[in-house]
Structure 1
Amino acid sequence: MSEGLKRVYGIDLGTTYSAIAYVDEHGKSVVVPNQESERITPSVVLFDGESVIVGNTAKESSKIEPHRVVSRIKQHMGDPNFVFDHDGQSYSPEDISSFILRKIVGDAELALGETITDVVVTCPAYFGTPEREATANAGRLAGLNVRAILNEPTAAAVAYGLEQGEDQTVLVYDLGGGTFDVTMIDIKDRLIRVICTGGDHRLGGTLWDEAIVMYLAEQFREQTGETSDPLDDPEVLNDLFLQAERGKKTLTQREKAPFRVTHAGKQARVELDRAKFEEVTKHLIDRTLELTHEMLTDARAKGHDRFDKIILVGGSTRMPQVHSRLVAEFNLEPETFDPDEAVAKGAALFGLKESLQEGVQEMLAGRDGESDDDDRPFDLSAVPEEEVALALDSLERQLGFTLTGPVRELVGTRIVNVLSKSLGVVARDEASREVVVYMLPRNTEVPFERATDFGTDSNDQAAVDIRVMAGERDSAEPTDCQEVGVATLNLPEKLPARSPIRVKFAINRDGRLNVTAVDLTAGGSIDVEFQTEAVMDSAEVDERSTALRLLTVS
């Protein structure tokens, strides 16, 4: 690929496994194997002196050195209270995730013989602002230029839509190792529109593993009469989780799976059959269906009451109970679509789309002299098709290969996402109680902005604290919401109570929030890209990146 047109890689930064993909010279999205010749890499990190080891070695080491191993870090993204302490150093979720990114990117660079700088990183659709900010920062800590944070179901829909080439509404049921998303997406000619999304970013395959572990511990106590709990021993616990993951995969293919539990000098052999496994995990599959119906209720409120297909994404959808329950619930045969790789491949296609679209825009920039606006992507529909075709022909020469028909169409395809959580501010109602007033409701299409006028609380108020809140089911109670951060507007002296303050929220396509507040009496204002309390600012990222670079990642 030429210097003028950068290749953008797609990265699925998963809870249990991660992958990286790019679009090859045939227009096909391809996952790059790691140095162990595996197409997906366990998202597990082992601290070994001045070195950091990521992948299978780290995963296996968790059995004997659990205190030096971190796994499932994605479930802590955006949590300012989580740190992993090792050898006198503290590591945030962003730090840990950056090591995973460095591993998969470094392996891809060795495999392809080129430097990787520009990436699209995916995240669960149900991630809110803090989690998305933290994900972007992890990429920057790894030395990458994060071009976009893309929802995982949307990435899968890009890959799926490119292959299908027909208009349809699909339900993407995405059950990964640590997260569950369910999303209704409309796929049409040159438009991929997310209608509604829902889910739980702590509901995933690891909870099925946990249910197996609990069952094994119970069976051990029954067989041996041992009073001490095997789950209290970190080494035994990690071994049971590794066995549980392997056993879960066995039960996908076979009716029974064997286990061995060793603790306190005693041993128990346990055989778990598929029926029992589905019994002890029924509450988990029930929860995914409950969330699915909640999302469908939201979709009906927006005028969408049907879907054509159910698309299964995520490794955990291989469990037979997922297929059977969905058939029973919706009387529709679900389609399994590249469960482990669809997200990374879709992100790579999205990255190519962005790169080509920017190239076309640069070539056509002289037409109207308008500047680029990242939040409002260049609209190719307003450009004559022959001009776009000529620009793409020129870009093909830069690429050194011919763009396939579907990839050419993807360049002009609009991709529309929605907010997964409502965003609002804390205000006081007529009874002087604190309530959350929502500015941007859930499932609002992005980018989007809205302004609302409020009043000051008291006479001669010195400042207004704009507490930004995120809510899942639109509760007005602040205690039911997550505080995203605070922006402060200083006020002039001697303002009376109820002096008008206009607050505007603007959300970009990546889910990043810009907050504007204006004192309408005196004209004072703040206008900042909202910095959440849960994540580092750009200066902290730069400083931290320098420190982390001293560690060798393999």
Structure 2
Amino acid sequence: MNKIFGIDLGTTYSCISYVDEYGRPVVVPNAENERITPSVVFFDEDNVIVGDVAKENSKMYPEDVVAFVKRAMGDENFYFEHEGKTYHPEEISSFVLRKLVGDAENILGEKIEDVVITCPAYFGINEREATRLSGEIAGLNVRGILNEPTAAAISYGMDSEENKVVLVYDLGGGTFDITMIDINKDSIKVICTGGDHNLGGKDWDDALIAYMANQYKEITGKEEDILEDKETCQELQLLAEKVKKTLSQREKAPISINYEGERAKIEITREKFDELTYDLLQRTVSLTDEMLNEARKKNYNSFDEILLVGGSSRMPQVEKIIKEKYGIEPKIFDPDEAVSKGAALYGWKLSVNDELVNRISLETGQTPENVKQGIDENKIEENIVEKAAKQVADDTGYTLSAVKASNVRVVNVVSKSFGVVTYNNEGKEVIYNLILKNSEVPAEFTERFGTHDENQDNVLIRVVEDELNDRVIDFEYGKEIGQAELMLPENLPANSPIDITFKLNEEGRLDISGIEAVEKREVKTAIDTSSVIKGKELEEAKERNKNIEVS
């Protein structure tokens, strides 16, 4: 059976896992025998170094090191130049993937081709496509893009024997997601999600860095900004991360800053750290409350547990504010590895389900598509599923209980709303959302619109992504992500009907179609992401990747 690996492609750290013969997720350590790898890339002449060595070299060679690139995924304005070559976020991330996969291949002694890669739940179409292309550039077959909180819930829920509603509070190095998930033995269903992919542990680090730089000024009396020196800035970034970790264990963290022969000793207390980052922490609470309000609209008025995942959730201030705000003791659940393990379980589920579906299809004569639908709707006789599961277990070496556990159904929601630009009664441009945020995916919605003028030659369907949950919103709140042109018959009167359909799949791919009612002319297109690497640049990145040594 084809093995699909799970990869948590993180802002600060990344991790790769697979599922063993007992159906248990296992993390594969890197060549340095560490279970997580810093998502830091060092361009060392013709070689690319990823991980701890890259992170350490950021002090000496800041202009040759790239970190936190995940925050730039899907950003057409971001690129990194090195020795006359331009690298987009997708290609830089591909080096992190190659490090994880290459080390895992050496340790396991097998070729890795198929992967599931995770991303923040709040990623939009461009960011998700950029994540998928990172895997493609690295030479991988990306079987799925999975939301990080959903992956964590899969890892947690696979062992759950009781039904429960949980909040997954995922505070990573660069992103924050808050997701409500309904877990039971047959399904893992996402109810609502919210967050900010520009809020994470790095922001806590930046607050510390600014404070340390100001303290240096006060102690030494120097007015110059030491953060303008790239080497010093990188050194303070590494120091801030150490201080943050120390303050998670102790009440005080003494540090020393050296700059141009001047030395300043500083003692940072946990109380001061909490004061500096209070607004950041409150932002996570506000986003949580917003998500809970959306959940109430779906009749989910309470929850049973809060899971803390993501390395930054270890900060004592997180547990403290959750207890105060929600009156519940949160559970710290495998913060560094849960997402990668959940992705591996999801990939394994895909493999096992493929095998089950094929065998049931042979047994019943039904098409694989009908079998999949029958399993989801519990319409396949239990004895047939049992027989197929036993066959898969016998042939693969997995236990029967593990194979049965793979039948858990995962239901996700969309983290954005998607609509078209139209006109209101006053002739003002507005956005009409066809697919609303927190709708279950796959999702499909059709709406009838009318042409604006008589004798129009065409209709330009402008597709917009936004973060509001209303059907009609002001144009300024959306971001245009694509267009499609529908040619019209001659001599149509104004307000001639045009039916527009949006289809969104589980990975966030949006297909649109428009049909005019007179001659049934139609236009179909998938949204062509405007801010990811493509065409000639994509092919050049793939070719260049083959010739670059990554270690």
User: Do they fold alike, i.e. is TM over 0.5?
Assistant: yes
Q: Secondary structure at the match of 1:253?
A: coil
Asked whether 1:208 is paired with 2:194, we answer no
Match of 2:542 in 1: 545
* 1:498 Cα deviation after fit: 1.8
Determine the C-alpha separation between the residues in 2 that align with 1:553 and 1:478. 45
Determine the C-alpha separation between the residues in 1 that align with 2:264 and 2:374. 60
Match of 2:418 in 1: 423
Determine the C-alpha separation between the residues in 2 that align with 1:380 and 1:34. 41
Asked whether 1:281 is paired with 2:283, we answer no
Q: Secondary structure at the match of 1:382?
A: coil
Q: Secondary structure at the match of 1:197?
A: strand
Asked whether 1:240 is paired with 2:240, we answer no
Asked whether 1:360 is paired with 2:328, we answer no
Alignment equivalent of 2:105, drawn from 101, 104, 109: 109
Match of 1:511 in 2: 508
* 1:58 Cα deviation after fit: 0.9
Determine the C-alpha separation between the residues in 1 that align with 2:450 and 2:189. 37
Q: Say whether the 8 Å CA contact 1:380–1:388 is kept in structure 2.
A: no
Match of 2:391 in 1: 394
Determine the C-alpha separation between the residues in 2 that align with 1:243 and 1:377. 55
* 1:483 Cα deviation after fit: 1.8
Q: Secondary structure at the match of 2:389?
A: helix
Match of 2:23 in 1: 27
Match of 2:405 in 1: 410
Runs of 4+ in structure 1 deviating by more than 3 angstroms, as ranges, are 371-378, 536-544
Match of 1:58 in 2: 54
Structure-2 change in CA distance of 1:33 and 1:461 (3 Å)? same
Alignment equivalent of 2:529, drawn from 528, 532, 544: 532
Alignment equivalent of 1:253, drawn from 234, 246, 249: 249
Structure-2 change in CA distance of 1:152 and 1:387 (3 Å)? same
Alignment equivalent of 1:489, drawn from 482, 486, 489: 486
Structure-2 change in CA distance of 1:187 and 1:106 (3 Å)? same
- 1:343-397 deviation line (CA, Å, top 9, x unaligned): 0001111111111001111112232432549997963722222222222222223
Question: Structure 2: which 5+ runs fail to align?
Answer: none
Instruction: Between 88-97 and 532-541, report the one with greater CA deviation.
Output: 532-541
* 1:540 Cα deviation after fit: 6.0
* 1:244 Cα deviation after fit: 0.2
- 1:98-138 deviation line (CA, Å, top 9, x unaligned): 11111101110001000011111111111111111111111
Q: Secondary structure at the match of 2:481?
A: strand
Alignment equivalent of 1:348, drawn from 336, 341, 344: 344
Specify the code of the residue in structure 2 equivalent to 1:370. Answer: T
- 1:27-72 deviation line (CA, Å, top 9, x unaligned): 2101000000000000011112221111111111111111111111
Q: Secondary structure at the match of 2:255?
A: strand
Asked whether 1:522 is paired with 2:522, we answer no
Q: Secondary structure at the match of 2:430?
A: strand
Q: Secondary structure at the match of 1:291?
A: helix
Specify the code of the residue in structure 1 equivalent to 2:173. Answer: G
Asked whether 1:43 is paired with 2:54, we answer no
Using the aligned pairs only, state the percent identity: 49
* 1:549 Cα deviation after fit: 1.6
Asked whether 1:217 is paired with 2:213, we answer yes
Asked whether 1:11 is paired with 2:7, we answer yes
Asked whether 1:140 is paired with 2:139, we answer no
Specify the code of the residue in structure 2 equivalent to 1:281. Answer: T
Asked whether 1:88 is paired with 2:78, we answer no
Determine the C-alpha separation between the residues in 2 that align with 1:531 and 1:205. 32
* 1:539 Cα deviation after fit: 7.7
Structure-2 change in CA distance of 1:296 and 1:370 (3 Å)? same
Asked whether 1:312 is paired with 2:308, we answer yes
Specify the code of the residue in structure 1 equivalent to 2:421. Answer: V
Question: Structure 1: which 5+ runs fail to align?
Answer: none
TM-score using structure 1 length: 0.96
Q: Say whether the 8 Å CA contact 1:357–1:378 is kept in structure 2.
A: no
TM-score using structure 2 length: 0.96
Structure-2 change in CA distance of 1:373 and 1:150 (3 Å)? farther
Determine the C-alpha separation between the residues in 2 that align with 1:513 and 1:391. 34
Determine the C-alpha separation between the residues in 2 that align with 1:534 and 1:54. 25
Determine the C-alpha separation between the residues in 1 that align with 2:374 and 2:307. 28
* 1:541 Cα deviation after fit: 4.0
Structure-2 change in CA distance of 1:29 and 1:538 (3 Å)? farther
Q: Say whether the 8 Å CA contact 2:114–2:142 is kept in structure 1.
A: yes
Determine the C-alpha separation between the residues in 1 that align with 2:277 and 2:404. 43
Structure-2 change in CA distance of 1:107 and 1:373 (3 Å)? farther
Structure-2 change in CA distance of 1:162 and 1:271 (3 Å)? same
Specify the code of the residue in structure 2 equivalent to 1:464. Answer: V
Q: Secondary structure at the match of 1:424?
A: strand
- 1:239-292 deviation line (CA, Å, top 9, x unaligned): 101000011001111111122222343221111011111110111111100100
* 1:470 Cα deviation after fit: 1.2
Q: Secondary structure at the match of 1:305?
A: coil
Match of 2:176 in 1: 180
Q: Secondary structure at the match of 2:207?
A: helix
Asked whether 1:457 is paired with 2:457, we answer no
Q: Secondary structure at the match of 2:257?
A: strand
Aligned positions, number = 548
Structure-2 change in CA distance of 1:377 and 1:470 (3 Å)? farther
Q: Secondary structure at the match of 1:482?
A: strand
Match of 1:271 in 2: 267
Alignment map for 1:224-235 (pairs within 5 Å): 224-235=220-231
Q: Say whether the 8 Å CA contact 2:194–2:291 is kept in structure 1.
A: yes
Specify the code of the residue in structure 2 equivalent to 1:478. Answer: F
* 1:323 Cα deviation after fit: 0.6
Q: Secondary structure at the match of 1:526?
A: strand
Determine the C-alpha separation between the residues in 2 that align with 1:451 and 1:25. 45
Q: Say whether the 8 Å CA contact 1:380–1:412 is kept in structure 2.
A: no
Determine the C-alpha separation between the residues in 2 that align with 1:375 and 1:503. 28
Instruction: Between 236-245 and 58-67, report the one with greater CA deviation.
Output: 58-67
Q: Say whether the 8 Å CA contact 1:372–1:378 is kept in structure 2.
A: no
- 1:3-39 deviation line (CA, Å, top 9, x unaligned): xx10111100000000000011222101000000000
Q: Secondary structure at the match of 2:378?
A: helix
Structure-2 change in CA distance of 1:492 and 1:536 (3 Å)? farther
